[in-house]
Structure formats: C-alpha cells, structure tokens
C-alpha cells in the first residue's frame, strides 16, 4: 500500500520569505512523486514531478522540490513566496509498478502568504 | 494550453437515482482517470482507463460505478443508484502516457455531486 503524509494543515509565511511545504511518503520500491496546487473552485494543477535523476527538481512558478530517499521525503520549496502562491498544495506518490498509474494524495497543506 | 473539461460543475440528485458525470480529456491523451474528494477528506483514486478498458480500480469503485468512453472525446463516470455517501467533488484527469515515461495527470475543475 502507498501513502502520503503532509504533517502541516496550514503554513503561514510573509511575502518574500522562503516557503517550505513538507511531504513524506511510503511506497513499495522507487516512487514517482508529484506536487499539485489547487486554487479555489479549480482542479488540481500540476507543479512538478520526480521520476529519477537529480534529487532537486524544478517546476512551475519558481517552485522546486527535493527528493530524499533516506528520509522518504519530497518537500516543496520556493525561495521567495508571493501572495499569489496562497492556495492548497497536494503531494502525491505513484508506485513505479502501478499498472493503472494510480496517484495517492496527501491531505493537503493550505499555504497563506501574507503581504 | 489544453484543458480537461468537466460538466456539469454542480449536480444535485435524489438518492437512488442514476447520475452521469462527463469529462472531455485533453485530445491527444491516452490515459483517463476519475478521482473523488469528499468534503474535508483526501483526494481518492477511483479508476484508471486505457485502451478502452479499466486498468486499475480502487475498492471504492464497486458495481454501482462504471466508466465509458462512448466516442473519441468524452469519458464518463456513471453511478447507478446514488447514496448519500457519494456526495463529493469528482475530478476527471488524463495523461499522455503512463509507464516509465510517466507524463503527469492533468485534472479538470471537478463536478460537485450533491445527493439529497
């Protein structure tokens, strides 16, 4: 079975400060890992993914995430947060062997960036 | 940028009635999915569909659920006899590829299903 934990329900950060959203996962074998963002009344929007290779992956809107195999983590980061980054962020994992490409999501972390 | 579109945005149905949720995936995508999110809970996988057949389904996806790709553009989720606990936001997604190339899944804005 695969699972994702996002330990923080909400993260508050001042505009211009670094933003980190935490994610840990559990999956059999090597994982595919994803971050999605959801704005109000919208669907999940893909930010970035880790498949293989460099542990630091870069994605949309200045976001990046670091894969740490020993800690089974995939934390999302942004060096300088914007007010427009305020949204709900979801981490997801997929087992490489999954025939149906099933994504398992964490519970989401609400990010509030204050001016 | 191409998008996954879902209709309707909100569906209200009496318990026991059949409901069909509709999705138009991105046109060149080959893999199709349904997920749902009950209010306040996690996004949960329901089913994936490839080459006109189900490739994986969750334990939620019981005999009351079915999926269909009736033509070259639509992908539908049918719930035969709705229950109160089927009330949720239902998301359709599609991806160009699965497997090792693992193209990301692109999601629609969802259909909010309310069962009365």
Residue B21 has a pLDDT of 97
Residues in chain A: 115
Residue B100 has a pLDDT of 57
Does A47 reach chain B within 8 Å, measured CB to CB? no
One pLDDT digit (tens) per residue for chain B, 116 residues: 779 999 999 999 999 999 999 999 998 899 999 999 999 889 999 999 999 999 999 999 999 999 999 887 899 999 999 999 999 999 999 998 766 566 789 999 999 999 99
SS3 A87: strand
Does A82 reach chain B within 8 Å, measured CB to CB? no
Nearest C-alpha of chain A: how many angstroms from B17? 26
* A84 φ/ψ angles, rounded to the nearest 5 degrees: -70, -10
Q: What angle do CA B10, B30, A61 make, to 5 degrees?
A: 70
Retrieve residue A5's tokens: 């934990």
pLDDT in tens, A10-59: 999 999 999 999 999 998 888 899 999 999 888 899 999 998 888 999 99
Which residues from B are below 8 Å from A when comparing CB atoms?
Answer: 4, 6, 31, 33, 35, 41-45, 47-48, 50, 54-58, 91, 93, 95, 98, 100, 102, 104-110
Does A88 reach chain B within 8 Å, measured CB to CB? no
């Amino acid at each position: 079975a695969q699972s994702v934990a996002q330990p923080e329900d909400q993260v508050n950060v001042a505009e211009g400060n670094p933003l980190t959203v935490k994610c840990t996962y559990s999956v059999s074998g090597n994982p595919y890992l994803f971050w999605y963002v959801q704005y109000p009344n919208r669907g999940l929007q893909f930010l970035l993914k880790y498949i293989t290779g460099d542990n630091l992956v870069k994605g949309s809107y200045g976001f990046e995430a670091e894969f740490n195999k020993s800690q089974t983590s995939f934390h999302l980061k942004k060096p300088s947060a914007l007010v427009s980054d305020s949204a709900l962020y979801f981490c997801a994992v997929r087992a490489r062997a999954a025939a149906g490409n099933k994504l398992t999501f964490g519970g989401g972390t609400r990010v509030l960036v204050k001016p | 940028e191409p998008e996954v579109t879902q209709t309707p945005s909100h569906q209200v149905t009496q318990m026991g009635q059949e409901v069909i949720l509709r999705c138009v995936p991105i046109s060149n995508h080959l893999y199709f999915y349904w997920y749902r999110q009950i209010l306040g809970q996690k996004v949960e996988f329901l089913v994936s569909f490839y080459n006109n057949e189900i490739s994986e389904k969750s334990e939620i996806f019981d005999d009351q659920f079915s999926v269909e790709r009736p033509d070259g553009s639509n992908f539908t989720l049918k719930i035969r006899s709705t229950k109160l606990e089927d009330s949720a936001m239902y998301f359709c997604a599609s991806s160009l590829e699965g497997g090792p190339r693992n193209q990301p899944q692109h999601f629609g804005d969802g259909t909010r299903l309310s069962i009365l």
